[in-house]
Amino acid sequence: MILFIDMNSFFATCEQQFNYYLRGRPVGVCVYTGKYGAVIAPSIEAKKMGVKTGMRLNDAMLLCPDLVPLETNSGRYREIHLKIMNLLRKYSGDVIPKSIDEAIVDLQHHKHIYKNIEDMKKLANQIKQDIRDTIGDYLKCSIGIAPNAFLAKLASDLQKPDGLTIITPENIDEVLSKLKLTDLPGIAGGMENRLKNAGIDTPLKLRYTDPAVLKVACQSIVGVYWHYRLNFSEVDLVSSPYKNMQAMRQLSREQRSSAQTIDNIFISLCMKLEKRMVAQGVYCKEFGMNISYQNGQRWKYHSKNAPLQDGMTIYHTLKQQLDKYAKEHGGKTLLHEGVAGLGVNVSDFVTADVLQVELFEDNIKKDHLRKAVYDVKDRYGYDKLLKAIELKEGHSAAYQDLIGFGSIKDMYNEQDWVSNSNKIQNPEE
């Protein structure tokens, strides 16, 4: 009773939907379109030419000289995502967005409407047609149908683009017998090695291995979850609010050649996390930073602190660590033209209602002011009210709104996720 909808080559197809003359042509959506920019979303046509997600643009052009590189248009992708979610809710109140291009439709409360596999197939085809008719005639999706969310996701991956695959108790062994361990969503090289070391070298063996053996093989409870997933129990359906937040940017050659631009991007990442924490009503007790370099090296820092929400406090604390490193290494800075990417993360959240305010600090007023500022920004636009730090030259460009394929919880308030989770966990209610 689970449908998993996966929009095919979503970012690129959205661009082809809006620009008729891109249709049928290989398209690569990039964060930036410089020579060494990364392709984050190749179109169906580009994929057929060998272009893969994460490939450098110069390498992609060698494979596909006709590739049309485009910069991301996050507002467009969000708009279409929300339209698709609203369409899916016509068929079920239990719709869980899993990412910008994926969603689960849970039909367990509609068993009297969708009584058998044929009804489910008819619904899946109707969803495909409704997307084409009401949202975009060039948009395609693959749909998987199965007894739980994991198997529905797996089914959606088996036939692309525009596929429809059903996994049932009757055909699951046949489906699994044709796959490798790494074909299963969530199993990469490390987990594959652990399983193979335990003598479990195929998905079919994984299904029939005792859960206690799997727990030892995987060195965690995750092994038991694999047994549940492949034997039709549900462990993946519940969505929840943030456990951690991360803001990351890859830097173009032009951006990393300017120390001021790098610093502006650094500030924008901290402010992005502040915005998310304000929206979710949480304060972090831990935060950190990671820097990746063109030569493959990395630098990481992690700190525990009193609960905080202020982006500039995070920025200044991290900046102190960068300055400390430079002082200890003869003035050698960590933010230089060799930087490939920056990331700032926050975690270990507490909510405002349990926050203990320090005796001599007027934090309550600061928190109310911060929330009021973002209420104004949300209502009238981000650039209508700015902090002094955001008036720095080049800061607005550094703050360019980007969106990836991961979490899209910024687009929903926390209560949406909590209530949806409760509804699924307690169907009798």
Give the pLDDT confidence of 400-412 residue by residue, as tens digits. 455 555 556 556 5
Active-site hit among 45, 102, 234, 274: 102
How many Å apart are CA 167 and CA 178, to the nearest integer? 13
pLDDT the model gives residue 25: 96
112 within domain boundaries: no
Helical residues (DSSP H) of 73-221, grouped into ranges: 74-88, 117-134, 149-157, 172-177, 189-197, 203-208, 211-218
259 within domain boundaries: yes
* pLDDT-based confidence at residue 47 (cuts at 50, 70, 90): very high
264 within domain boundaries: yes
Q: Domain of residue 294: give its range.
A: 244-406
Q: Measure the CA dihedral 197/201/203/204, to 10°.
A: -110
Q: Quote the percentage of the chain above a pLDDT of 90.
A: 46
Give the pLDDT confidence of 219-259 residue by residue, as tens digits. 888 888 899 999 998 887 765 566 788 888 888 778 888 88
Question: How many helices and strands in the chain, by DSSP H and E?
Answer: 17, 12
How many Å apart are CA 118 and CA 141, to the nearest integer? 19
Question: Per-residue pLDDT for 423 more than 50?
Answer: no
Question: In whole numbers, what is the pLDDT of the chain averaged over residues?
Answer: 83
140 within domain boundaries: no
* pLDDT-based confidence at residue 379 (cuts at 50, 70, 90): low
Q: Stretch 137-155: mean pLDDT, rounded?
A: 95
358 within domain boundaries: yes
Structure tokens at 414: 């926390």
Q: Quote the percentage of the chain above a pLDDT of 70.
A: 81
How many Å apart are CA 317 and CA 43, to the nearest integer? 41
pLDDT the model gives residue 381: 59
Nearest alpha carbon to residue 238 among 85, 422, 427, 421:
421
Domain CATH for 400: 3.30.1490.100
52 within domain boundaries: no
Hey, which of 23-27, 226-230, 263-267, 273-277 has the most confident mean pLDDT?
23-27
Q: Stretch 138-157: mean pLDDT, rounded?
A: 95
pTM of the model: 0.67
Question: Per-residue pLDDT for 392 more than 60?
Answer: no
317 within domain boundaries: yes
How many domains does the chain contain in total? 1
Question: Per-residue pLDDT for 62 more than 80?
Answer: yes
369 within domain boundaries: yes
Higher pLDDT, 215 or 238: 215
Is position 102 annotated as part of the catalytic site? Answer: yes
